[in-house]
């Protein structure tokens, strides 16, 4: 049985994130912590070099997830994502999560949690990043608005 708790610890980075209204979650199997991840609100960033953006009220950006290696492949990541969606459903209507293109495990877990692909992020020839529609123009536009990046043709 998978149990998910919101956790508030005091390590420096965690404290800084919590102060910017980010919320950490830990998934447990019995007494064993098996996975963690964050739900971000307000100012945050992704990638390297980092792209800073603001998560508007009513949205959440889910980030920085990992399942312990011994527990992978058991649906814990999608279970944790779903538990966060449920826990935050009263405060947020729209949730965003990114994965690296080559991270198949992450992509599969996100898909299993019920997310729909909004867009792909590409390096642009002229520099910077842009979003390419991946099936829904509207979602791509909303994703571009969230990240402060243009939607471009491939
Ligand atoms: C991505 C990650 C969180 C997925 O967690 P998980 O609880 O194993 O997720 P799932 O059980 O849904 O498995 C997802 C996919 O992982 C792959 N997988 C299955 N068993 C695996 C194993 N033993 N080891 C690694 N990957 C495995 C499969 O592709 C699986 O999809 P499938 O079941 O449809 O074939 C985990 O692999 C991880 O911590 N990776 C390192 C950190 C990371 O990439 N974080 C994501 C940042 S967004």
Number of Cβ atoms within 10 Å of the Cβ of 71: 17
Tell me the three state secondary structure of residue 87.
Answer: helix
Q: What is the pLDDT of residues 105-151, one digit of tens each?
A: 999 999 999 999 999 999 999 989 999 999 889 999 999 999 999 99
How many angstroms separate the CA atoms of 64 and 99, rounded?
10
Confidence of residue 86 (pLDDT cuts 50, 70, 90): very high
Tokens, residue 49: 């070099």
Residue nearest to atom 8 of ligand 1 (CA): 72
Tell me the CATH architecture of domain 2-115: 3-Layer(aba) Sandwich (3.40)
- The answer, yes or no, to whether any atom of ligand 1 lies below 6 A from the CB of 145, is no
26 burial type by CB count under 10 A (0-12 exposed, 13-18 middle, 19+ buried): middle
Domain definitions of the chain by residue range: 2-115, 118-154
How many angstroms separate the CA atoms of 28 and 89, rounded?
21
pLDDT score at 22: 86
Give the distance (Å) from ligand 1 centre to CA of residue 105.
Answer: 4
- Ligand 1 pocket, mutate which of 73, 76, 96 (most atoms under 8 A from CB): 73
């Amino acid at each position: 049985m998978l149990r998910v708790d919101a956790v508030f610890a005091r390590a420096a980075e965690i404290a800084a994130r919590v102060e910017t209204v980010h919320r950490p979650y830990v998934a447990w199997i019995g007494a064993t912590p098996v996975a963690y991840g964050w739900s971000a609100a307000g100012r945050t960033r992704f990638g390297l070099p980092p792209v800073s953006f603001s998560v508007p009220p009513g949205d959440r950006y889910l980030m920085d997830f990992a399942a312990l290696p011994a527990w992978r492949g058991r649906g814990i990541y999608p279970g944790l994502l779903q538990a966060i969606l449920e826990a935050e459903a009263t405060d947020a209507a729209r949730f965003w999560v990114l994965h690296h293109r080559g991270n198949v495990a992450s992509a599969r877990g996100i898909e299993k949690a019920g997310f729909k692909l909004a867009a792909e992020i590409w390096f642009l020839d002229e520099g910077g990043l842009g979003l390419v529609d991946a099936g829904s123009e509207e979602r791509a536009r909303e994703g571009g608005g969230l990240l402060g990046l243009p939607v471009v043709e491939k």
